[in-house]
Structure 1
Amino acid sequence: MFRVYKSENGILLPAESIIPHTWICLFNPLEEEMSYLEKKCHIFPEFLRYPLDEEERPRIEKEEQQVLIILRVPDIISKGIFVRYETIPIGIILTDDYIITVCLKDHPIFEDFITFANKSKTFDLRNPVNFLLNFMLSATSLYIKLLRNIDKALEEYEEEIFKAIENEEIIKMLSIEKTLTYFNTSLQGNDTVLTKIQSGRYVRLTEEDQEVLEDLQIETRQAIEMTKVFLNIVSGTMDAYASIINNNLNLIMKFLASMAIIISIPTTIYSMYGMNIPLPFQELPPFKGTSYAFLFVNLITLFIMFLLFLFFRKKRYL
């Protein structure tokens, strides 16, 4: 499918047909639609197909008077116990007469960009470079918005993870780490594209474009730094959690080993008195029907257990 927009008085409006100086928003296209645009707009076939590869990396390419810029933007994926993000490619094709965006799906960034463009009321599709830079700025703003949401989620998960018994919080942290890894790789690729645009070898930049490009580079590098910081936080939190789990396991093992030693004392002593050999206190006469040997043995057993308990308590094993 595709939608066509034109600019009037600095505002993007739907157009009824494809005419020069329009934006063609192509998403989840059929082969017939791509063939139609190839002939209608004289676009290189590979430029329309490259962005449909999910693994396509950010890059810029120029052939004759056509420029292809591929970016990666965040894409929400609902899986399991919480929402996770990945990134998908979006291709922007610039020609003298047309601007074409190609994506695998009708991504929300298109509506966000139109809203942003109409608020500024300065858009003119006869300036494709300005469209490109502002579209990239919208993509970077989306990254920063999602990174701030991730920052809030991290604060919540950090408090929960050290109280958690189940694995739910750990899975959440691992999902965030995976999301941040996707973001980091995609943002660095987008930043490389910006550097190539700045060189002036692919598109011609005016002074106004240079200012927008500088703002865009600052925003992109800020997003990259935020991503790296959050990755370090997640990694540090997971390492701390692993250390706490190991420490708790050691404490439990110390407690169980100490209790096993204390409990083994009665077993050892009573098993000795079950042997058919002379043993201490067995010759003492009974007292009111109760053997002195039984009383002495139990008292000695309890005394030894109490001493062991004090010893392990002092060592903080109990």
Structure 2
Amino acid sequence: MIKKFRRLPQVITKQSFTEYYHQPGTPPGTIIIDENAEQPNILLIDYNQTDLIRQQITNPEDCVNYLDTESVSWVDVQGLGNRDILERLGKVFELHPLVLEDVVNMAERPKIEDYEDQLLIIARMVVPKERSYGFHSEQVSFVLGKHYLLTVQEEAEFDCFDGVRTRIAKNKGTIRKQGADYLAYALLDAIIDGFFPVLELYGERIEELEEEVIVKPTPQTLQQIHQIRRELLQLRRAIWPQRDAINSLIRDSSEIISDEVRIYLRDCYDHAVQVMDMVETYRELASGLMDVYLSAVSNKMNEIMKFLTVVSSIFIPLTFVAGIYGMNFNTEKSPYNMPELNWYLGYPLCLGLMALIAGMLIFLFWRRGWLADSWHIKQK
């Protein structure tokens, strides 16, 4: 059963994972097809120690002759925009309806499911953007059999499997001597290692923001900190279940995974743990940046208030003197008249008195170091 997709609102960032959901009451095995998805591009790589076959496949039925041979057959599907091809692939590989649903619907949590003669592995791949910060994320599904591996990706543009394809083509390392389970490990390891370049970019962004927060924090700085925190949360949601899935591959007693490959998977698990630690570290740094930003803004406000207070303190006594002499009480019969109002030099003497008071206050503030700090804030 094929239905059109419904996409959840992108409430986080443009880099947030595309999420889909079923309508309530949807039958199990329902496939969600994105109307804008790319047409499937199927690449078959069949190899053993001596021979290599690499060809584009247009008819999924052409894969049948390779699935039961002793060589390793890797069928890589890129794009999910053709319902007919996806259903035919399900028949060729004898996929359970629930497996086909998980493979096609791009909203699955990374997991491992054992179907006796097949293993379903759902993983999340991230690739850094070339010309901007952030990353592209997509689901990669593995269907592992005894002598074959089916991988399904959302798009053909973003991929971290070129290194594995090169090793197969040039017969580097031991990959051509191993089975399909080792190929699945190599691809999983490439996916996990793909997190490190993304995290390296976030480390550089956090360092830049640390200096900006201390020197000149702005509202845009706060917005960038929020964005980094949310993107790191997305990475955490991707790597956390992925780490658990790899751990279950190591511990489960599936006959499809050999004991030798389980040893390699331990190294892959260690890399996943390292990625998890880095993500948590950067999240803590981003949260610390938020606290530093708020402290910097508060300190800046306090220093501005200090500068205004110093200026007000200088003018308050001058206002007092001007206020007294602004009353203009000059009654000849009153014993409380202001004789200074009739002085010839009364006006310049009053100005001199106010200048003297202002000078004394400025000198006092300077001796205490208040003027230096206030002048520094004014220059900022």
SS in 1 for 2:194: helix
Shift of 1:160: 3.7
- Give the gaps of 5 or more residues in structure 2: 1-39, 57-61, 331-336, 375-380
TM norm structure 2? 0.72
Q: 3-state DSSP class of the match of 1:108?
A: coil
Matches within 5 A, 1:239-258: 239-258=291-310
Contact persistence 1:74–1:88 (CA under 8 A): yes
Q: Indicate the RMSD between aligned Cα atoms, in angstroms.
A: 2.8
From 357, 364, 367, the equivalent of 1:304 is 357
> What stretches of structure 1 of length at least 5 have no aligned partner?
287-291
Determine which structure has greater relative contact order: mean sequence separation of CA pairs < 8 Å that are 6+ residues apart, divided by chain length.
Answer: 1
Between the aligned partners of 1:38 and 1:280, the Cα distance in structure 2 is 106
1:316 aligns with 370
Return the offset for 1:126.
Answer: 7.6
Give the match for residue 128 of structure 1.
Answer: 180
Alpha-carbon distance in 2 for matches of 1:71, 1:234: 26
Write the deviation string for residues 58-81 of structure 1: whole angstroms up to 9, x where unpaired.
111122422211111214468xx9
Task: Give the match for residue 48 of structure 1.
Answer: 100
Q: Is the 8 A contact 1:71 1:89 kept in 2?
A: yes
**1:14 corresponds to which residue?**
54
What is the Cα deviation at residue 147 of structure 1?
2.0
CA distance in 2 between partners of 1:193 and 1:232 (Å): 25
Counterpart of 1:220?
272
The alpha carbon displacement at 1:252 in A equals 0.8
Output the amino acid matched with 1:316: W
The one-letter code sitting in structure 1 at the alignment partner of 2:241 is G
TM-score relative to the length of structure 1: 0.85
Q: Distance in 1 between matches of 2:361 and 2:53?
A: 84
- Whether 2:107 is the aligned partner of 1:63: answer no
Residue pairs, 1:82-97, within 5 angstroms: 82-85=132-135, 87-97=137-147
Query: The residue matched to 2:204 in structure 1 has which SS?
Result: helix
- C-alpha deviation, 1:167, in angstroms: 4.2
Call closer, same or farther: CA 1:266–1:35 in 2, change over 3 Å: same
**Does residue 331 of structure 2 align to residue 293 of structure 1?**
no
Residue identity over aligned pairs, in percent, reads 19
Give the drift of 1:236.
2.1
1:174, 1:238 → 2: CA distance? 8
User: Residue 111 of structure 1 aligns to which amino acid in structure 2?
Assistant: D
1:65-214 maps to which residues of 2 (within 5 A)? 65-76=117-128, 82-85=132-135, 87-106=137-156, 107-118=158-169, 120-124=172-176, 127-164=179-216, 166-214=218-266
Contact 2:45 2:53 in 1 (8 A): yes
